[in-house]
Structure 1
Amino acid sequence: MNLARLIILRHGNTFDAGDTPTRVGARTDLPLSTSGQQQAQALATHFRDTPFTAAFCSPLQRTRQTARAILDHQAGAPALLILPFLTEIDYGPDENQTEEAVVGRIGADAILAWDSHAVPPPGWHVDPDALRAAWTALLARAAGLRPDATALVVTSNGIARFLPDVVGQTPADLDRKLKTGAWGTVQISGAETCILDWNVRP
């Protein structure tokens, strides 16, 4: 039986080798870097034969560029729709700071709690309940797609990590942190949802 699917994809890189990476959140609207553009093209090649019925991304240019690269390789691609909740979280005082500086302010345990359980560190502006509710609403929306439909959702790491909390079945070893240029697949059958894979790259 063919079931509807959501491809949940994190945008490509915003830093290249030799750059000093920082915590890029909602207030730092960076474009894709050179390697990020290459990731987007690799994704476009991989999904070339996957006709998307719907496509969503955040207002941030890194997600729009990634989604656009994929859709531009498809004939009859759907319109790219902006969903504000897909915008990356606001890291507060840690926005655009190096990881060393962030760990120095909040400690390694706070980073571990964020990566393992999506517990926001002090000072970060994020509403976990609102994000879980938004993902739930998107899954309900996707349940209305035709049985063989596939929708593309391009977002950021801080947003994607709340999706597994509202999916019915998830892999036991799932790592919440979605890598740049990686995706997960959510299968949908009415009210039943299942993450088939996570952190997949071309």
Structure 2
Amino acid sequence: MHEWHRNDFIARRSLLRWLIGGYLACKPESLRFSVTPFGKPVVQWPHAARIAFSVSHTDGMTLLAFAWDCRIGVDVERRIDGLDVGGLGRGIFSLIEEEALDRMRPDAAATLLSIWTRKEALLKALGTGLSGEPNAYTTEDDLLLGAGHWCASHRGKTISGWTCLDLVFGPDVRAAVAVSIEDASVTFHRARRL
């Protein structure tokens, strides 16, 4: 691991601890974490079943999300120029998602990132990550709610009661959040690296 990556990892984990400690009104160093069978970190102590969090990072950016009494997942990805998207997502994307990607070829990079971030956010919120059956879930634009909103289904059955949003962080970055609360209030706070 390069020193920059190691330092970035340490900074992310320290910020996460500091923020969760603030939310739970306890010292960050007193927090204890455990990992679910699918590898998702959760707060073990203090008794904090009420707080949910999700972390994602890409080159030069970290996205942290917190929620109370629900499940939450986020993902952020930076576009890589010249990336050959052919075959990416196979086995991960549902048939509907693969067809949406195929319709956008040859310039499908933006669509790939949108589908990928939505899928990752949903699967993180569900707690399975890519370890479950990711292609059993479909994410697509929510035509009723309009731009920036998306919805999800599992084996063709709509997953209701969720708030699913695309997040805008610039032309080369795609991000998404999935929250297991209908009409959740989502606020953003941006911090720049010093």
TM-score range, shorter chain: 0.3 to 0.5
**TM-score (norm. length: structure 1):** 0.33
Task: Determine which structure has the larger helix proportion and give its number.
Answer: 1
- Looking at both structures, which has the greater relative contact order when contacts are Cα pairs under 8 Å and sequence separation is at least 6? 1
Task: Determine which structure has the larger strand proportion and give its number.
Answer: 2
